[in-house]
Chains A and B, each alone.
Chain A
C-alpha cells in the first residue's frame, strides 16, 4: 500500500518532473491512430480504467472528435476538471482561475484586448474562445501546443497569467481533502501531479461542444429559420470575392469560406494565416515563433466563427471591437506583406462589398451564437 500522503512533498522537484518528461507514450501502429500526439508522463500511476466512462455527445453533423487514447474521458474526470478549471488556488495570489479569462457568458473569453494575470500583468495575446476543442489539432494562436493536455500546462505557471509554480499548484491541490476524493474517483488514487490536473481539465474542456446556434437549428435541426438578411449573409460568406466583371471567378462575395470552412460545421480550417492586419509585422511573429520559418511570420491560427458575436474584441491582438470592424477589415482587402495569405486576394484594394452586404454578413455571423452553450450549467463555476 502506497502512502500517498508521503508523496505530497511540498515543493518537491518530483512534481516538476512531469513537465519536462514529455515522452511518446503511444506504441505500435494501431495505437498511433488513437494517440496522435505525445502524452506527458507523470509521477502518478496510470489512469486508464478509473471512473465511469463519459459518453461524448457528438453533434451528428460533426466528424469524430480528437479524443486521445491516453486520456479517456470519465464522468468523474470531467467533474474534477470543471472544479480545477474554476479553481483560484491554481493562481499564485488566489485571485484568478482559468475561468477568469474564459467566462461562459463570453463564449469562454473575457472581453478584454489582453487578459490581466496575477499582479495585473497583461497576457501577450487576446484570450481565445474555448469552443469545440475536441476537434482542434493545435492550440494557442501560434499552435505551439499540439494537444489540450500540453496546452493546459502553460497558463498556470506563466508569469503573465496565473504565475504559480507547478510544484506549489500540485501541493495546494493535493492537500485539499475534497480534491483527494475527486482524484481518487477520477483516477483511482488520490495522487496529484501536473499531468493529472491537465488531464482532468482537458476532459472538461472537451465537453464544451457548441452546435446549437440559430444557424445550426435552421440548417441541421429544422428548428428555426434564418431571416432573408441572414440567408443573404450566408450567401456572401460562401461567395468568392471580387467583381466578376473585373476579376475572373469573382462573385462579389465575402471570401470567408476559404478559411472558415466551406463545410459549415467547424467554421475554421485549423490552419495558420496572415490575414493582412499589418504591412510591417513587428513584435509578434506568430507561427514563426514556433516553426522558425520566415514563411510563417505573422501567421495565426484561424479561429472558429462559432459564437463570434460573444467573443469581442477580435484578432490575436484584440484590435477590433466589433464584428462589423472585422468585416470592414476584410472588405478593405487588408495590408500586403510578404507572408499575406494569397486568399486575401485584394490587398489594399478591397472586396467591394456594400454597406448592405456588410450588414447582412454580420447578421449571418451573429446567427452562429449558441445561447444554450453559454448558458449551460455544466460549465459554470461549481465552487
Chain B
C-alpha cells in the first residue's frame, strides 16, 4: 500500500513538474482573429492565371495582386478603437516559399472584448510611407517585416511604397484564344492615393470562440468598374504613380478601396 501511495505521489509530482508554467490556466484561451481575403469576379473565387472578363468584357488573366493594409483596428460598441496592426502585406498569388505562411490570411490575437466593426486603410499610411520623413530608409525594416524592401513593394524614396500591385495579361476585347496579347501592371502609390475604408460591421467577441474568422472578398470587377469609373484596358494598362496619369491612379485607388467586401 505504501508503494502504491508513493507511486501516486510521484506521478502527481511528475505531472506538476511537467506543466508548462507559461500555459494559461484551463478555461481561458487566447482568442484569435483570422481574416481571409479571396479575390472574386461576379462573386466567384478566381484562380490566378484564370481567363476572366472585366465589366467592359475585356479578357484578363490576373497573375499578381499584392497590397498593403494599414491601421487594422477593431472597434468596440462604444467607438473605442483597438489596433491590431500598423500595417500588413498580402499577396494573392500562391507561393511555395515561406513554408506554413499563407499570404492571403492575417491572424491576430484577439484582445479581450466584444467588437462591432473592423477598419483598415488600403495602402501604406502616410505615417509609415516615409515620403514626409527625410530620414526614412527601408533599412528600418528587417526582411520579415511587411515593409521590408524584400517584399518588392518599395518604389522609390520619392513616392514611397506601392500600395497595391495588380498585374496580369489582357486584351481590349473578350477572347478565348490561348494567349492574351497584352500585359497590364497597375500599381497605386503616393500618399494621395491612400484610402481609408469605411468600417465593416462585425459581431465578434473574445468570449465566443477561440477562432473568430472574417472572410473578405476582393471584387476584381469592382477594381475595373465602380460607379461609372471604368478602367479600359485598351488604353489604361500601366500605372506606376506618374503625376501625368493621376486621374487613372485616383480611379484605381477609389475602385480598389470599394472592392473589399465582408462576406460574413
Name A's B-contacting residues (CB within 8 A): 24, 33, 36-38, 60-66, 135, 137-138, 143, 146, 238, 240, 244, 247-251, 257-259, 261-263, 265-266, 269-271, 290-295, 336, 338-345, 347
Contacts and interface: CB of A to CB of B under 8 A. Distances in A.
A244 B244 contact: yes
Contacts of A240: 240, 242
Interface in B197-241: 238-240
Nearest to A26: B100
B148 interface: yes
A63 B139 contact: yes
A291 B245 contact: no
Interface string B134-166: 000111111111001111101111000000000
Nearest to A62: B139
A257 B167 CA distance: 17
Interface residues of B, number: 45
Given A135-B143, A249-B239, A294 B49 contact: yes
B240 A342 contact: no
Given A146-B97, A244-B244, A265-B149, 9 more contacts: A24-B100, A63-B148, A258-B240, A290-B96, A293-B49, A338-B179, A341-B183, A342-B167, A345-B183
Contact of B138 (A265, A271, A290): A265
Nearest to A347: B183
A359 to B, nearest CB: 23
B93 interface: yes
B264 interface: no
Contacts of B140: 63
B139 A293 contact: no
A64 B142 contact: yes
Contact of A137 (B97, B184, B248): B97
A15 B141 CA distance: 39
Interface centre among B99, B145, B183 (most CB of A within 10 A): B183
B100 to A, nearest CB: 8
A172 to B, nearest CB: 32
A143 B96 CA distance: 9
Nearest to B170: A342
Interface of B: 48-49, 63, 93-100, 137-145, 148-152, 154-157, 167-169, 179-181, 183-185, 238-240, 242, 244-245, 248
Contacts of B144: 33, 36, 66
A152 B31 CA distance: 40
B149 A261 contact: yes
30 contacts: A24-B99, A60-B139, A61-B137, A62-B139, A63-B148, A66-B142, A66-B143, A135-B150, A137-B143, A137-B150, A248-B244, A248-B245, A249-B244, A249-B245, A262-B155, A263-B149, A263-B154, A265-B137, A269-B150, A291-B94, A295-B48, A338-B169, A338-B179, A342-B167, A342-B168, A342-B238, A343-B167, A345-B183, A345-B185, A345-B238
A238 B149 contact: no
Nearest to B141: A63
A62 to B, nearest CB: 5
A258 B97 CA distance: 21
Contacts of A137: 97-98, 143, 150
A244 B242 CA distance: 10
B245 A263 contact: no
3 shortest A-B CB distances, which residue pairs?
A: A269-B152, A249-B242, A64-B142
A244 B151 CA distance: 29
A213 to B, nearest CB: 17
Contacts of A238: 156
Contacts of A269: 149-150, 152
A66 B248 CA distance: 38
A290 B99 CA distance: 13
Contacts of A338: 169, 179-180
Contacts of B96: 290-292
Contact of A262 (B143, B156, B242): B156
A258 B154 CA distance: 9
A30 to B, nearest CB: 11
B143 A63 contact: yes
A46 B248 CA distance: 57
A381 to B, nearest CB: 30
Contacts of B167: 341-343
A1 B10 CA distance: 30
Contact of B183 (A36, A62, A64, A340): A340
A291 B96 CA distance: 6
A38 B49 contact: no
Contacts of B154: 261-263
B150 A270 contact: yes
Contacts of B99: 24, 37-38, 146
Contacts of A292: 96
A373 B104 CA distance: 39
Contact of B238 (A146, A247, A265): A247
A259 B160 CA distance: 15
B138 A63 contact: yes
A263 B136 CA distance: 10
A143 B245 CA distance: 35
B63 A265 contact: no
A83 to B, nearest CB: 28
